[in-house]
Amino acid sequence: MLNTDEMETIVQRIANERVRCNFLLATYNLPDMQFSLNTPLEMLKFQFQERLKLRRERLNATNATKPIVANKNKSEQL
């Protein structure tokens, strides 16, 4: 059964979707999702939401530690 053309097509489609999902996650600096073939959609959504939450927390932590630099006017620059 695993050696049929139909099964090979299905497995290839799943592999392509996994690559596409992980590429999109990497685009937004999110970690890859590791999931099995039968992972429920709800679990994938939950994992994605958790990654977004972690990304927001990282961005907030980075922004909180950045020093605030006041812009000098032209007379102060001279």
pLDDT mean for each 10 residues of the chain (78 residues): 78 84 83 74 83 87 70 59
Q: What is the pLDDT of residue 46?
A: 87
Predicted pLDDT at 77 = 54
> What DSSP string runs through 8-71?
HHHHHHHHHHHHHHHHHHHHTT-PPPP--TT--HHHHHHHHHHHHHHHHHHHHHHHHHSPP-PP
> Is the model's pTM score more than 0.85?
no
